[in-house]
Structure 1
Amino acid sequence: MSPQLLGLLVGSGFGTAFVLANAGEPLPGGVGIALRVLAVLCLAAVVVVGFRGDRRGGTERGGTGHGDARPAWFGPRFGLVVVAEFALIFGGIAVLRALDAPQEVNVAWIALIVGLHFVVLARVWKRGAIAVPGVVLSGLGAAGMIMAAASSVEWIPFVSGALSGVTLLAGALYGAARR
């Protein structure tokens, strides 16, 4: 399995989890169910299209870090970004809990940090397209934080959670189709 396909599978898996966990109230029941079904179908499409592209060799292969124009996918810089991401997510949630923030704010914080992690990885991997979902996720996370400050917490799971999942799934499906 290529590093690109692994990344697409991880992104679409997390995107599906975001939608499944956050496509509930206050959305009407039918809308939430439809979003969940579409998320699972999109995940399946990423898997099928991604593996088909991987078998054909894909259009892009990961660099080895030895004289390639692009660095290795899962080297030390990637590890540092992921460690920082987890520290910020869990540390931030602990701070939010200590501040007595509503539970719904957690998903906004997670979306914000995951988005920033994509923006940083776009630089590390020298792949600007990865920054696009990162900027969108960061914006959706920031929107959720603003909604919390404005006491509109009931829609945070949809805005920062479900829409972030849709963004991850769309990005993964686009990436798989390009391969």
Structure 2
Amino acid sequence: MAIIIGVTGRVGVGKTYLIEGLLKNEPSYDVIDLDKLGHEVLKQESIKEALIKTFGNDILKKNHEVNRGRLGDIIFNDLTQLRLLNNISHPAIKKLAEARIKTSKQNAIIIVGALIKEIGLITRCNYIISIIADNKKREETLGIKKRIDKYQQSDKQYKLMATHVFKNTFLKDIVEKFSVLVQNLLR
């Protein structure tokens, strides 16, 4: 049975950067990126139908794909709308993640995403690494994602769910330090 490591933390802490760096040195991990799964589920007809019913046809592009920008404008201005989206998408994301876990041939699986707990995958993880970073550094990397930040948990809440806390300093050697932590967890 594979060891599953959850990597989580607020938007802008460098989760993707650290995972990409880890994979350059150690490509034998299966990575389940919850953001990418979220984009995948938006292409499922049943999810699209539920979204149209909830948010209207204005969320669609001309090619009948979900316009994530328009959907984001709706959900990141109203917590009720965000909860409606999560109620529609989270079960489908969890189902996809569970299927990937089941079919993985690797000894180590990394689930990466800010919403591991909310999607219901925290109990699947042997370890949870919460990535934290200096707020000033985070804000430098946020860009358009800044509007997401106010809807996420605090660093304190991420630390409480963690078996390990990793501070991303964004310095040159940080990927190596993160890789050492992951490798130690797999021993």
Q: Which structure shows the bigger proportion of residues in helix conformation?
A: 1
TM-score by length of 1: 0.34
Query: Hey, which of these two has a bigger chunk of strand by percent?
Result: 2
Give me the TM-score of the superposition, normalised by structure 2.
0.33
Greater RCO structure (CA 8 Å; 6+ sep)? 2
